[in-house]
A and B are shown apart, each in its own frame.
Chain A
């Protein structure tokens, strides 16, 4: 592999963003995608947290991959992920407390996110640190993209706002003399599942020949 930005590494970076997207194609990490996307801000914070944790756990595991005894590798991976999750969780609490309250347990539950274990097992255990880092970043971003799309639609239709800024003015609401109503189901996880299905649908329809 040698070069930092070789063609293979470009492919490692690009494929999770589109044709091998962790949510849209591998259908991993759905639970958190449903839980945290009712507004855009927590969705982005969650996406970034997963990106950071995936990237660095990939690097750490990749560095020590040759010294890990095969039979206890899952435990070692979990310890690394748990340590990183704790760090990220504390950073969130320190700097963006309101978002961390909104995300509540879902930051802690990143430990159980299938994307992480999947990347560690499938990629970091057999590739060098730099490739693993790229792979982690790309998978995290691939996850984040879907979260942002779903979060954007849910916040716009469910609350009438983007990033907390009111896009649909209050005077449009039925109670204030207008005719509009926010869609309450958009704020529930059930609708996130349907939106997610729509994203997957659109993605597969667009890339019909490229996804098996």
Chain B
């Protein structure tokens, strides 16, 4: 193949003594991204051998995210034309408008994140970690369309440095990097992350520079925003399933997210236990609080509005930050669902609780694992003592 030949041809100049040695880790990163490396660990010792490496796993997640992303683009364009007075916007023009509006966010997120990763890898003389492949696409999907680009750049830089690199890079982070980005945006620049003007892009420039609170622009509240304000919810249950409603770019459509979830489950990248238990926990808690919500909102709609599905499928199942023991996954997911609904219903300040719930449980995941492992050890120890006594 042409690409393989080209890579082999330029390889020597990146190796020790070559004139482009300084960019060795960049080259390595691209080569292993394009091709599975030939040299694997020796077939000795206790390592688990598998043909799939972490770059391939990351690619699966990116593919799984694509339906939600494409739908999000169409949704952005759809609401743009509705905000500008069109009753029935055409499909393709909606999609292409959304593409043009979302693309800058993706580019900024990848440029900043990968820039920092490459610099750190080069500086520490390490291989480039592939973790940002997924974070970089997640970040634009969990922000409102009118979030200014420079703010996304700052938040991405903050998250990559303080949530990931200081802990030792990919695979070592305690918190989900994309969620830290969102948390930083949420607490630092609340006016760009909530309210009723950020969800619908009326003028194109708003998605680059942000929308001013003083300008008289189109307003559209998310269902959760309406609940927080005490207004009746205007979105029907069907719309929350299909996703034709205002919201963060990738989070609105349950159907598109379900497609991604299927791929993740079939390929075994994400754990079905975590995913299922998030929904169980959320449903249980929503049912308990079913008298505490506004009109036109059934308890089960908690599972379809806001970032609940997106968080359950793509954030809670992050293999690095979630619990790793099988029993721990049930507890971890269940508590995420419970916490998310508790925050939504009981906390007047934050309409959406999914982000905070997952970040909170990220902290507890190692503790859950520790307890699960310890209880197993104790159980076995007791059994051993019993056998001895008999």
Contact = CB atoms under 8 A, between A and B. Distances in A.
Given A179-B148, A179-B150, A194-B162, A184 B190 contact: yes
Interface string B41-81: 00000000000000000000000000000000000000000
A179 B184 contact: no
Contacts of A183: 188-189
A175 B211 CA distance: 8
A186 B192 CA distance: 16
A175 B214 contact: yes
Contacts of B191: 174, 181
- Counting contact residues on chain A (CB < 8 A from B), the size range is 10 to 19
B184 A174 contact: no
B151 A181 contact: yes
B189, B190, B211 interface centre (most CB from chain A within 10 Å):
B189
Contacts of B148: 174, 179, 181
A181 B187 contact: no
B181 to A, nearest CB: 13
B184 A185 contact: yes
Contact of B188 (A176, A179, A186): A186
Interface in A174-194: 174-177, 179, 181, 183-186, 188, 190, 194
A179 B207 CA distance: 12
Given A179-B209, A194-B162, A184 B214 contact: no
Interface in A18-35: none
B387 to A, nearest CB: 50
A175 B212 CA distance: 5
Given A188-B187, A194-B162, A181 B214 contact: no
Given A179-B150, A185-B184, A194-B162, A174 B212 contact: yes
Contacts of A179: 148, 150, 209-210
A63 B190 CA distance: 54
Decide if the interface of chain A is mainly helix, strand, loop or mixed. Answer: helix
Interface in A153-212: 174-177, 179, 181, 183-186, 188, 190, 194
Contacts of B192: 181
A175 B213 contact: yes
A188 B190 CA distance: 13
A184 B213 contact: no
Nearest to B184: A185
A88 B92 CA distance: 70
Interface in B115-163: 148, 150-151, 162
Contacts of B187: 184-185, 188, 190
Contact of A177 (B151, B188, B189, B212): B212
A194 B163 CA distance: 11
A194 B212 CA distance: 29
B158 to A, nearest CB: 9
A166 B214 CA distance: 21
Contacts of A185: 184, 187-188
Nearest to A157: B188
B57 to A, nearest CB: 30
A160 to B, nearest CB: 14
B370 to A, nearest CB: 25
A188 to B, nearest CB: 7
A174, A176, A194 interface centre (most CB from chain B within 10 Å):
A174
Nearest to A181: B189
Contacts of A186: 188
A174 B213 contact: yes
A185 B187 CA distance: 6
Interface in B199-214: 209-214
Given A174-B212, A185-B188, A190-B187, 8 more contacts: A175-B214, A176-B214, A177-B212, A183-B188, A183-B189, A184-B187, A186-B188, A188-B187
23 contacts: A174-B148, A174-B191, A174-B210, A174-B211, A175-B213, A176-B214, A177-B212, A179-B148, A179-B209, A179-B210, A181-B148, A181-B151, A181-B189, A181-B191, A181-B192, A183-B188, A184-B187, A184-B189, A184-B190, A185-B184, A185-B188, A188-B187, A194-B162
Interface of A: 174-177, 179, 181, 183-186, 188, 190, 194
